[in-house]
């Protein structure tokens, strides 16, 4: 499900069962990420699938990438794997107006 930044943030802030998932590369992640995000690189193919399958399907996932394209694909893959609540951040971190953390 695609959400605007406003809706994504509002839903995330009121969700006690939330996990923020960054599907960018490690290098992109190290340039700055949304606080508390978990990084699983969608470009790793089958390794991405294995890592996603390790996640708790009972949680709600707020997924983002650089522009929103890879995270949309990640949400689609997650839905196919049985995740019911994966929310894509439209516009990705490029359009993100909140704070980011640099490791």
**Which pairing describes strands 18-22 and 38-39: parallel, antiparallel, or unpaired?**
parallel
CATH of domain 2-101: 3.40.250.10
Q: Is the pTM of this model over 0.85?
A: yes
Q: In what order do the strands lie in the sheet with 18-22?
A: 2-3, 86-89, 60-64, 18-22, 38-39
Q: Please say if 75 is a catalytic residue.
A: no
pLDDT band, residue 103 (cuts 50/70/90): confident
> What percent of the chain is helix, strand and coil (3-state, nearest 5)?
40, 20, 40
Pick the catalytic residue from 19, 52, 65, 78. Answer: 65
Model pLDDT for residues 41-73, shown as the tens digit of each residue: 999 999 999 999 999 999 999 999 999 999 999
Outline where the chain has alpha helix (H): 5-13, 26-30, 46-53, 69-80
């Amino acid at each position: 499900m695609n959400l605007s930044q406003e809706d994504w943030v509002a839903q995330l802030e009121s969700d006690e069962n939330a996990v923020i998932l960054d599907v960018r590369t490690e290098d992109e992640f190290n340039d700055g990420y949304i606080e508390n995000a978990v990084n699983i690189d969608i470009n790793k193919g089958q390794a991405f699938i294995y890592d996603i399958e390790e996640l708790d399907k009972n949680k709600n996932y707020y997924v983002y990438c650089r522009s929103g394209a890879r995270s949309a694909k990640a949400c689609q893959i997650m839905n196919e794997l049985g995740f019911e609540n994966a929310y894509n951040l439209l516009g990705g971190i490029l359009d993100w107006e909140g704070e980011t953390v640099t490791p």
